[in-house]
Amino acid sequence: MGGSGEGGSPFEDTDIGSWLVDPQLEEGEGLDGEEVDRITGELDVVTALNDLFSIAQRFGSGTAFQTIEDDEAERVENAVQSSHIEVITGAEDRLLRRLLIEVDLALGEEVGLSEILGPLSGASFTLDMSISEPNRPIEVPEPPDPLPLDELVPES
């Protein structure tokens, strides 16, 4: 995955397992010729949002997200109308093959979420990410007319 510019992955401290409430494990059908496990459950929306906000900041998001905690966390939890998470991993290598998240949040004005979640309040959110052949070597051809780094990166 991409780097954060500090030498580490922006996903380095992310524990997707902590996003699951009452996880259920079952053997999944094969995917890309690999045996997989399927883990499903409800989504701990507060934990997931805090992790996603942290990832966004490590990617250089211009938005300053604050950690959701205490009373704000309770308001977010109360605003969740429904949530679902599905994680598919390799049965042997435990590499992520698919992540599906579905969340429906109540309107922000009704539960006081506008100042916490901004445009996310009142949203139906779906993230469906699949990874084929994880950790497969990738060859990137050299560009035909490469530029020096100082011409590619603006000065700060």
Say how far apart CA 100 and CA 18 lie, in whole Å: 15
What does the pLDDT look like over 100-145, one tens digit per residue? 999 988 765 555 566 666 666 567 889 899 988 888 888 989 989 8
pLDDT at 60 over 50: yes
In a domain, residue 146? The reply is no
Range of the domain at 88: 23-132
What does the pLDDT look like over 70-98, one tens digit per residue? 988 888 888 888 999 999 999 988 889 99
In a domain, residue 18? The reply is no
pLDDT at 102: 94
In a domain, residue 43? The reply is yes
Residue type, 112: G
Share of residues in the chain with pLDDT > 90 (%) = 28
Q: What is the 3-state secondary structure (H, E, C) of the chain?
A: CCCCCCCCCCCCCCCHHHHEEEEEEEEEEEECCEEEEEEEEEECHHHHHHHHHHHHHHCCCCCCCCCCCHHHHHHHHHHEEEEEEEEEEECCCCCEEEEEEEEEECCHHHHCCHHHHHHHCCCEEEEEEECCCCCCCCCCCCCCCCCCHHHHCCCC
Structural domains in the chain (count): 1
Mean pLDDT of 53-63: 77
In a domain, residue 7? The reply is no
pLDDT at 79: 83
